[in-house]
Chains A and B, each alone.
Chain A
């Protein structure tokens, strides 16, 4: 028996050590888990008031905007003021966006389908994200002397972009974000030059102070899509990881348009399908405009293909190849009822 004691105490020690190590690992993984930090950031963006100066960089274009964002009683109000000397302002109240262009003396009122701020979170980061993206630990990083966590979400292939988020440790706000390609090229960057999180934001700060006398007031009716409508289109072969996540139907300028959504869990690509028989829209000077082939709209790539008498346009913040593959993979289904599930290629 005497020999058993040391052995038992050894295994006890080992068990304690292993338990301790596990506990430590659990604690450290929760503290460094990128998903935890992204959740905190999403929560902060969805619930906090903020007022800051934001530098938005896209290519060689750089815009400096003051952004005042308020969530009060479940309602979103947001005001963006451009610092480019034009005096342009954008005021969002839930589903409505009012854009002021004092240099053109016009105001444009638009209805949007969802109530979202201009700075969105990154929903959809979960265990499945690891298939398409490489998520490292949320590493401590100093940004302008403030402790932040850097969450790097790197694409595993060239069909999608990656994200870098510098999340403030104290407030969970993204003090800097980058959208980057797999080769390291930075596509878009947002940086807060200053940021405050006031408990209250008074109404006047959220209202444009521009004198709009003599301005033209215009309304833009963007397509309104009803989710869940049957769309008899299917994708033949999607880029890896993408699957259909939503379907809607609607009208644009009195012609029916289908809206399909494809996502890899993080990024969403919209596909709009309209009959190609309708005449092409006219430009301001009355000449028809070509809208076929590739286009780049800020960080979003677009591609329009003609398929079986339809114009199919894919738009998304993905590499140009991805929107092209998605647009060209779509085919009308012979039976409207047989909306077969989209078969992703893996």
Chain B
């Protein structure tokens, strides 16, 4: 069975449209094959997101989904090297996509166009992926701040072909998970986000969701009148 057939059977199973015998077969395969389980998990996730359902919380606390998705990413078969555009699986006839279409139509009066894309196997994002991805401040290796007027602590990084690699090396991320963006930087990140590259505006949200940016930093309480006016 090729990948397309396999996926189409999986989505049929997901929608309860598979006859008993093939369903049993796919279920057995599902139990054995971690990659298939990952695909299954993603179908469930997409459905839940579209229905705006709260996702299940594990006993241990939150951040479950990111972990689950990360696990499922890890379970993916080897992906194309980062330098290459990823190679995508051919689409199957997964009927969950009909579900998506239906949901979208229900949500709107008329759909001009509906696309439903198969969940894509995310590519490995190389060097940052190897590090804890807290968007935390990294205090320069030399903890003494540069003196005013002569702020060149590490001239080696300034110029030169030999330093090209440095420019792609993300500064070492802080290991302390509690480390957060300092307040002065938050203002600047917020102000800059209006000029950020495409998609990068999402990364400031990401910073808030990962907990590396305190949601209430640089804020003040609104008055009761202000709050009630918004309700």
Chain A residues engaging chain B, CB cutoff 8 angstroms = 48-49, 51, 53-66, 80-88, 90, 99, 101, 103-104, 106, 108-110, 112-114, 116, 118-122, 141-146, 150, 152, 158-159, 161, 163-164, 168, 170-171, 173-177, 179-202, 205, 212, 216-223, 225, 252-253, 259, 261, 266-268, 270, 272, 276, 280-284, 289-302, 304-310, 313, 315-317, 319-322, 324-325, 328
When C-beta atoms are compared, the residue in chain A nearest to B101 turns out to be A196
Please list 26 pairs of residues, one from A and one from B, whose beta carbons are closer than 8 Å in the complex, sorted by A's number.
Answer: A48-B112, A58-B125, A59-B125, A61-B210, A81-B49, A85-B62, A108-B216, A119-B202, A144-B89, A173-B115, A191-B120, A194-B116, A198-B107, A199-B108, A202-B109, A253-B218, A270-B188, A280-B184, A291-B182, A291-B184, A295-B138, A295-B181, A297-B203, A300-B192, A307-B151, A321-B157
Q: A188-B203, A292-B139 are in contact. Are A217 and B226 (CB under 8 A)?
A: yes
Q: A179-B199, A186-B126, A282-B183 are in contact. Are A270 and B214 (CB under 8 A)?
A: no
Residue contact B209 to A185, C-beta cutoff 8 Å: no
Q: A81-B52, A197-B113, A300-B200 are in contact. Are A319 and B139 (CB under 8 A)?
A: no
A175 to B42, CA, bound (A): 18
Residue contact A62 to B73, C-beta cutoff 8 Å: yes
A206 to B108, CA, bound (A): 12
Q: A61-B206, A119-B202 are in contact. Are A185 and B127 (CB under 8 A)?
A: yes
Which chain A positions have C-beta within 8 A of B108? 49, 51, 196, 198-202
Q: Identify B52's interface contact among A66, A291, A297, A305, CB under 8 A.
A: A66
Q: Identify A85's interface contact among B55, B100, B208, CB under 8 A.
A: B55
Residue contact A191 to B122, C-beta cutoff 8 Å: yes
Which chain A positions have C-beta within 8 A of B187? 222-223, 252-253
A-B residue pair count with CB separations less than 8 angstroms: 437
Q: Identify B195's interface contact among A158, A253, A270, A308, CB under 8 A.
A: A270
Residue contact A194 to B100, C-beta cutoff 8 Å: yes
Interface centre among B123, B190, B203, B207 (most CB of A within 10 A): B203
When C-beta atoms are compared, the residue in chain A nearest to B166 turns out to be A321
Q: A171-B115, A294-B171 are in contact. Are A60 and B148 (CB under 8 A)?
A: no
Q: Which of B79-93 contact A (CB under 8 A)?
A: 81-85, 88-91
Interface residues on B, range: 35 or more
